[in-house]
């Protein structure tokens, strides 16, 4: 997968894995990641699917309707890439933090629902429920931050609450930060995510 890896200056910090939103690329979330965890190694990944020329991590049938077969296949594809990247770059696969926005948050959420503790922590910014009818593995010990908009035109409050319940029910420690910036990532949301990450132990 197209990606960028930046070696961090602090070996005690986790590696952040960055998943962009629709139309983004592997560079999009680097400034956010540098703010969230100064000194961390950063792995930015570009989705392998194109929708009208815009990179995504999996196909969708229409707005808010996912191609579930493709989502599952791409989830396994990303997991295999993470394993390869850990071997290539020498980072600890047990100390990964996912940072995903929108479509990227959805693939990160799908990785959690398929693989459990593939991430020790995950910041999901404006995510949806990636898959329904799936019994997730144990997420005990996994901490999840959800950034959501009370007026997000793409994601209802009920959808966010359903995802929170799904992750919590599997044992994850979930923190939800509500903002009123629609589907946009707000500065307050980013600050809240940083405060949450600062409280995690690695």
Q: Cα separation of 64 and 67, whole Å?
A: 10
pLDDT in tens, 108-122: 999 999 999 999 999
Pick the catalytic residue from 102, 121, 143, 179.
Answer: 102
183 is catalytic: yes
How far, in Å, are 87, 89, 102, 153 from residue 84 at the CA level? 5, 9, 25, 37
pLDDT in tens, 29-76: 999 999 999 999 999 999 999 999 999 999 999 888 899 999 999 999
Confidence band, pLDDT 50/70/90 cuts, at residue 201 = confident
Mean pLDDT of 99-128: 97
Confidence band, pLDDT 50/70/90 cuts, at residue 163 = very high
Pick the catalytic residue from 40, 41, 110, 152.
Answer: 152
**Coil vs helix vs strand at 177:** strand
């Amino acid at each position: 997968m197209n990606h960028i890896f930046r070696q961090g200056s602090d070996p005690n910090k986790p590696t952040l894995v960055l998943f962009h939103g629709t139309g983004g690329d592997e560079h999009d979330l680097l400034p956010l990641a540098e703010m969230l965890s100064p000194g961390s190694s950063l792995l930015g990944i570009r989705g392998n699917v194109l929708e009208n020329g815009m990179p995504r991590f999996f196909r969708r049938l229409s707005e808010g309707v996912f191609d579930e077969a493709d989502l599952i296949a791409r989830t396994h594809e990303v997991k295999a890439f993470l394993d390869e990247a850990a071997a290539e770059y020498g980072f600890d696969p047990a100390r990964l933090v996912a940072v995903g926005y929108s479509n990227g948050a959805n693939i990160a959420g799908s990785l959690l629902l398929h693989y459990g503790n593939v991430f020790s922590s995950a910041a999901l910014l404006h995510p949806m429920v990636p898959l329904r009818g799936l019994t997730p593995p144990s997420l005990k010990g996994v901490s999840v931050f959800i950034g959501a908009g009370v007026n997000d035109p793409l994601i209802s409050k009920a959808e966010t609450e359903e995802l929170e319940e799904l992750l919590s029910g599997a044992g994850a420690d979930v923190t939800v930060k509500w903002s009123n910036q629609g589907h946009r990532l707000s500065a307050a949301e980013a600050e809240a995510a940083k405060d949450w990450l600062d409280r995690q132990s690695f």
